[in-house]
Structure 1
């Protein structure tokens, strides 16, 4: 049964012009969402209502530091949401799906003076989403990039920010471009791009990164030229493992350079 607004009265307070009321409402929301029995009863429509309130909470927030703190607080909700043992994605994925649906719906209406804080919000939530995807396996050291969480998150990315059909009425160009701008940065922060001492963990992270690469490659074939160009640019980032020059390749380049060099005539 859907939770109506009588059971979530804090939603309208999230968009209050009074900062104290907004802060109090966010605290109430956090308590509400972290209750396992409550969160699992919410419908997709309930999550959309929540994110509409959170969207306008960001809209009403002024000054850089409070905006940065709010974006971090909203992103941190991902890590605090319940992850039922029978279905780890039952709460987090619907919550994030509503986030992407809300940002996609509102993106073109965001004015230039407010855009920067929404760009930050997307970055923070995207980073928190990848971090959550890597926390799926319990009882092992480090992040594990396989399993239910990883599968659910990659499917969600294909469904929304990296939507495969190129439907710009579903995910606007500007939002796609921003996610293409940040995905390598956020992967680097989570050490997805570095070598691991544990080979099994490295294999998992390589698999996740390769699957993410495949999703982005679809964007490089988009009918929208800016999206196509930005996707290709992100995939050629020198930080990505497949773009790095190995030591053997460096030696080959040096050898080739030596063969072509000319030191002048002998005396």
Structure 2
């Protein structure tokens, strides 16, 4: 078994060679081999495993790490949508199966940030990424039937975000903003 792997990857043997040119060429070959393989599911497994052990003082950094990992996942999704769609369906947006695989807090955090990251990676503006936005929206829509109440509510709330093509803008907010514009000229005092 090991001999078959060695025959498929001769650069492993060449890394131990005494010839500098051969080692350098082999190292370049190894770098190319490793860079050609994107493994998104391993980062998800590590994040899910480390979530319960994160101290409260380090939680902000961990949440930022989750945000950046999700942004990288979206950038990779623009290049190969099928692979990332499978990873997203398995990891943060899984609504059926073993729900213990992804901790609830991590799942809720991803539901909070997915629209922000779609916006920051320019997926909402890019016509080529409209299919990706639709696929992720469909995954979030499926979470509205999740057995966990907090996930259902958060999925419904984030799916209706006004920045999304199908989202609804909050009319109460726009009325409040118009009222604020009228009152900017002077202070009316304390009303009784």
TM-score, normalised via structure 2 length:
0.68
101, 120, 123: which is aligned to 1:189?
A: 120
For residues 1-267 of structure 1, the aligned pairs below 5 Å read 35-37=31-33, 39=34, 82-83=35-36, 91-92=37-38, 95-134=39-78, 136=79, 149-165=80-96, 167-194=98-125, 202=127, 204-243=128-167
Q: Which structure has more helix as a fraction of its residues?
A: 2
User: How far apart, CA to CA, are the structure 2 residues paired with 1:223 and 1:170?
Assistant: 14
Quote the RMSD (CA, aligned, Å): 2.4
User: How far apart, CA to CA, are the structure 2 residues paired with 1:130 and 1:99?
Assistant: 14
Look at both structures and tell me which one has the larger radius of gyration over its CA atoms: 2
5+ long unaligned stretches in structure 1 = 8-30, 40-81, 84-90, 137-148, 197-201, 246-267
* Deviation >3 Å, runs of 4+: none
Give the conservation status (yes or no) of the 8 Å contact 1:166–1:223. Answer: no
TM-score, normalised via structure 1 length:
0.50
Deviation at 1:214, TM superposition (A): 0.7
Q: 3-state SS of the aligned residue for 2:108?
A: helix
Shifted more, 114-123 versus 104-113: the winner is 104-113
5+ long unaligned stretches in structure 2 = 6-11, 13-26, 170-192
User: How far apart, CA to CA, are the structure 2 residues paired with 1:213 and 1:206?
Assistant: 10
User: How far apart, CA to CA, are the structure 1 residues paired with 2:97 and 2:157?
Assistant: 18
Deviation at 1:206, TM superposition (A): 1.8
User: How far apart, CA to CA, are the structure 2 residues paired with 1:166 and 1:221?
Assistant: 13
